[in-house]
Structure 1
Amino acid sequence: PGTGYGVRGVSDGSGVGVAGEAQGNFGAGVLGRVPGTGWGVRGISSNSGIGVEGESQAGPGAGVSAKASLAGTALLIDGSIGVRGNAPAFLHTATPTNVDASRTIIDNPMTNGDPNAMLVVTYVISATDPLITAPIGVYYDSGSGRWLIFRADGNNMPFGAKFNVLVIKKVP
């Protein structure tokens, strides 16, 4: 009761302050629970570190899982989202090898062969890239197993046109 720490661990900078490990095939290495307002588990980074990190080392697991009631919010973000590595967000550029008339073919491991992926695509406008004034759309071509970005006006896709692509996957 009151304020303070239930468990506190301090590292000298080269180790772990508190470690928890579940034995067997199920359980929780560390569990934080708050009956009212506050944080069950909280990580704070002061400088350029990471406040909380999750990692899935094998199989189809998840590094971080968030869950809420139907009325709640599973993941609350206050700031931008950064991605790196084999990321669900990438830049696609229309080139002579991926343009077919009014379409450009996306060839990316995050989207290839997945007709159920959800793609959010935005056109990149800059002073040096070609301008597309028509609406754009996306569709999945089951014959090639690829997603395509198309111009709704049917005009040719210009080489050098750039698109930001965000891929969202529904998993069991």
Structure 2
Amino acid sequence: MNHREIRNLVLGVLIGASGLTALAAFSEFQAGTPIRAADVNAKFNDLDARVTARQARISAVCAEGSSIRAVAADGTVTCEADDVGTGGTGFTTGAGLNLTGGVLGITDGGITRGKLNTTGTVAPGKLLRATADGLEWADDGLKLPFSGTISAADAGSIGLSVVSSDPNKTAMKGLGGNYGVVGDTLSPTGVGVLAANSGSAGGAALEVSGGIKVSGGNKPAFVHQAIASNSFGNYTCINNALTNNRPNAILIVTQNFNPNGTLVDSGVYNDESIGVFYGTSSLDPVAFNKWCIFNQDTSSLIPVNADFNVLVFNQ
């Protein structure tokens, strides 16, 4: 390659790479003149200085959240805000957000309030349940392993209803180390647990396997002791919230010679047949609106400190 071809090659590379047209200094090479390494190096050094000088002229910066839109000949810049939405805290999908080819990850506790679409077939009281095809709104309650359903009942009467789809199977079973089933009511006339038989007149509403224990401050099974203030003649009257003002109550009464296995304030023998009655006369303050235990022999007085076992059924 002769010196002219080398010169043209150098000029083409330098001018094409930098886009600078002011590099006419290379025209100082003359035809027929040998090209020396020192001359070429000097020209490259001069080119590098010119490019560096042009690059250093851009000294302006854009604030955080913006970017350079244009650069002027004097090195100044024009900035514009970044196209990132409203601070990164909101997102509008328009026609919807379609995620494909990956998984949308959310950190633990990242969702503080979730909301599902409640239009269409969704109605208050329905439950969301999993199926083989995904999720669906349950029209007939939530299916349980025993092939029954559990659903919200009338909010004005029952909070939870459990029904077995098989009339010969169990609708609900409770098993626990302390209590299997607990029922409580806040109403003075309410019922903690209700057992009912809706199948036939001869069916049982309640079946008990094992003993029955009574507890609490107002037990339906208790011991009544005859004392001077609650007795008159051949009868003694019970003052108990479960029996007072309840003429339809059913009482089962037996005599108890020594309650709790002790003879302290007991050990009184009442050798008479007994019965019960409900006092309806306001003229008798001892018996009025109370259930009383009486000796069937009206001439036999109730002994003081005589004890009686009482079991109450209200209806």
**TM-score range for the pair, normalised by the shorter chain length:** 0.7 to 0.9
Higher Cα Rg, which structure: 2
Letter in 2 for 1:80: G
Counterpart in the other structure of 1:133:
271
- Identify the residue that residue 215 of structure 2 maps to in structure 1: 84
Residue of structure 1 equivalent to 2:145? 6
Aligned partner of 1:118 among 243, 250, 255: 250
**Matched AA of 1:159:** V
SS at 1:53's partner residue?
Answer: coil
Q: CA deviation at 1:36?
A: 5.3
In the alignment, is residue 166 of structure 1 matched against residue 311 of structure 2?
A: yes
Among 275, 281, 292, the alignment partner of 1:148 is 292
Amino acid in structure 2 at the alignment position of 1:51: G
SS at match of 1:31: strand
CA distance in 1, matches of 2:257, 2:188: 39
The equivalent residue for 2:174 is 43
Residue 66 of structure 1 deviates from its aligned partner by 1.1
Whose helix fraction is larger, Structure 1's or Structure 2's? Answer: 2
Change (3 A) 1:130 1:27: closer
Which of the pair has the greater relative contact order for Cα pairs under 8 Å at 6+ separation?
Answer: 1
The separation in 1 between residues aligned to 2:229 and 2:183, in whole angstroms, is 38
Q: Distance in 2 between matches of 1:113 and 1:132?
A: 27
Q: Supply the AA of the counterpart residue of 1:146.
A: K
The residue identity in structure 2 corresponding to 1:101 is G
In structure 2, the CA distance between the partners of 1:31 and 1:159, relative to structure 1 (3 Å rule), is same
CA apart distance, 1:112 = 1.4
How far 1:23 sits from its partner (Å)?
7.0
For the residues of structure 1 that align with 2:154 and 2:245, how far apart are their CA atoms? 37
What secondary structure is seen at the aligned counterpart in 2 of 1:43?
A: coil
1:94-113 alignment, distance < 5 Å: 94-113=226-245
Instruction: Tell me the residue number matched to 2:26.
Output: none
Hey, what's the Cα distance between the residues in 1 that align with 2:248 and 2:311?
14
Give the residue type in structure 2 aligned to 1:162.
Answer: D
Q: Equivalents in 1 of 2:304, 2:188: separation in Å?
A: 39
Q: TM-score, normalised by structure 2?
A: 0.44
Q: With structure 1 as the length reference, what TM-score do the two structures score?
A: 0.77
Query: SS state of the match for residue 97, structure 1?
Result: helix
For the residues of structure 1 that align with 2:247 and 2:227, how far apart are their CA atoms?
23
The offset of 1:103, in angstroms, is 1.0
1:139-171 deviation line (CA, Å, top 9, x unaligned)? 11102112111111231111111111111111x
Cα displacement (A) at 1:27 = 5.2
**Separation in 2, partners of 1:58, 1:157:** 37
Fraction of identical pairs, as percent: 33
1:22 Cα shift?
5.0
SS class of match (1:105): strand
The count of corresponding residues between Structure 1 and Structure 2 is: 153
Shift of 1:97: 1.5
Whether 2:196 is the aligned partner of 1:57: answer: no
> Alpha carbon RMSD of aligned pairs, Å?
2.4
Q: Structure 1: which amino acid aligns with 2:274?
A: I
Moved more, 31-40 or 120-129: 31-40
